[in-house]
Amino acid sequence: MEKVLLLNGSHSEISLLRELKNLGKYVITTGNLPDSFVHKYADEYIQADYSDMNKIADIAIKNNISGVVSCANDFGIITASYVAEIMGLKGHDSFEVTTLLHQKDKFKKFAIEYGMQVPFSQEYHSEDNALQDIRNLEYPVIVKPVDLTGGKGVSKVSSDDEFMQAVHKAFDYSRKKIIVVERFIEGTYHSFSTFLVDKRVIGFFSDNEYSNVYRFFVDTSAGPADYQDINSVLIGQAEFVAEKLNLVNGVFHMQYVMDKKHKPYIIDITRRCSGDVYPEPVEHSTGLPWSKWIVMSELGYPSDIYVERGKQTKFCGRHCIMADTEGTVEDVIIDSKLKEYVYKNFEWWKPGYRISNHFVDKLGILFYEFPSRDIMNDIVKNIKKFVTVKIK
């Protein structure tokens, strides 16, 4: 039985593990948290930090793996490409290309060079250099580390005092000790997830994104996105990058801001499974086997297996159940107005569950489907009215 390395075992990887097992693979999971419940469904768990490229490579070599599948994290896809490259495995872009796409400073340089629609940004390698440019700033701006996801270390600032604090915070978070400062685009947030085969988009899913707990962390989404007329533009951008960088088959996920002039600005790109069981609403709406496609692409399956096509036909999405403060969970109450549209829920909290950081700790995920866009937007934009986490 072929051994495959899956780089984490959180709730975000559960559909990837399922598909790997369906393909008959012997699955070894890694990660720092032995209690993550997905590990118990794997054939083997080896405790290791998936961002430690050399350690993961050593595990891969010792176990003679035939393929490596990233987790739902940018450090995971970078490590996966590194391992694939040194072992000669298929299914991943080169390490150079992967780091270009997943480190914000490198991607912005590429995007600006080739005229892609991205916010103007400047990178800095020290706090002193960033603060020297303070007189040239036009507020508001976004300050962020180049190498983290989930909004970690990100700040929107509107004054010199805020900028100095944000620069210190971003450098403190960044492992590479590099940050970017970019123009803040006022608008609405969205994502556009595509699947590339031979550098052409064969399926996509778009949605609106909302941040209810922490401004730079998306906890709620629903689609199709409000602006379907720009799909062809975004598909063109994905295929342009695929051609320019000679991308392998697989997911190409974009996050963008739609400004008040109806112009999309791409702010992030990833080539791995999105977190919080993102494939579930994709599959529910389009009928495309998103999780299966992801693992097959990262294992290097040939292009001729991707024969299905699908369109986004349902108004659906997901909501991460999160609290507004730290403490002990007493109960989670879902209002009946929302409950009638929830077609699946995935909750792991129990009474007494302790929340240590309410900005990142999740209690579960709700998946919903609505009969119309109006109902979808009415409920999802006000989701906090319909989901209450009681804390003591």
Q: Is 114 part of any domain?
A: no
- The backbone torsions φ and ψ at residue 276, rounded to the nearest 5 degrees and listed phi first, read 55, 45
Same domain, 197 and 259: yes
d(CA 152, CA 147): 10
* Beta strands 3-6 and 67-69, pairing class: parallel
Same domain, 302 and 322: no
Coil, strand, or helix at residue 181? strand
Same domain, 257 and 206: yes
Same domain, 264 and 275: yes
Nearest alpha-carbon partner for 311 in 189, 191, 190, 194 = 194
Same domain, 162 and 276: no
Same domain, 344 and 269: no
Q: Is 115 part of any domain?
A: no
Q: What is the CATH number of the domain that holds 157?
A: 3.30.1490.20
Q: Is 259 part of any domain?
A: yes
Same domain, 10 and 76: yes
In three-state form (DSSP H/G/I as H, E/B as E, the rest C), the secondary structure along 52-78 is CHHHHHHHHHHCCCCEEECCCCHHHHH
Structure tokens at 126: 């020290």
Structure tokens at 192: 């556009």
Q: What is the CATH number of the domain that holds 67?
A: 3.40.50.20
Nearest alpha-carbon partner for 188 in 166, 211, 204, 156 = 211
Last residue in a domain, options 292, 313, 334: 313
Q: Is 141 part of any domain?
A: yes
Same domain, 231 and 290: yes
Query: 224 preceded by cis ω (within 30°)?
Result: yes
Instruction: Write the CA distances from 77 to 69, 95, 313, integer angstroms.
Output: 8, 9, 30
Structure tokens at 250: 């697989």
Last residue in a domain, options 183, 203, 238: 183
Same domain, 359 and 212: no
Same domain, 98 and 240: yes
Same domain, 269 and 162: no
- The backbone torsions φ and ψ at residue 360, rounded to the nearest 5 degrees and listed phi first, read -130, -25
d(CA 329, CA 306): 44
Same domain, 309 and 194: yes
Q: Is 240 part of any domain?
A: yes
Last residue in a domain, options 135, 163, 183: 183
- Find the domain containing 231 and state its range: 93-109+189-313
Q: Is 217 part of any domain?
A: yes
Count of structural domains within the chain:
4
CB 31 within 8 Å of CB 9: yes
Q: What is the CATH number of the domain that holds 238?
A: 3.30.470.20
Walk along the chain (392 residues) and give the pLDDT tens digit of each residue.
Answer: 899 999 999 999 999 999 999 999 999 999 999 999 899 999 999 999 999 999 999 999 999 999 999 999 999 999 999 999 999 999 999 999 999 999 888 998 999 999 999 998 888 999 988 888 888 888 999 999 988 777 788 999 899 999 999 999 999 999 889 988 999 899 999 999 999 999 999 999 999 999 999 888 899 999 999 999 999 999 999 999 999 999 999 999 999 999 999 999 999 999 999 999 999 999 999 999 999 999 999 999 999 999 877 889 999 999 999 999 999 999 999 999 999 999 999 999 999 999 999 988 999 999 999 999 999 999 999 999 999 999 98
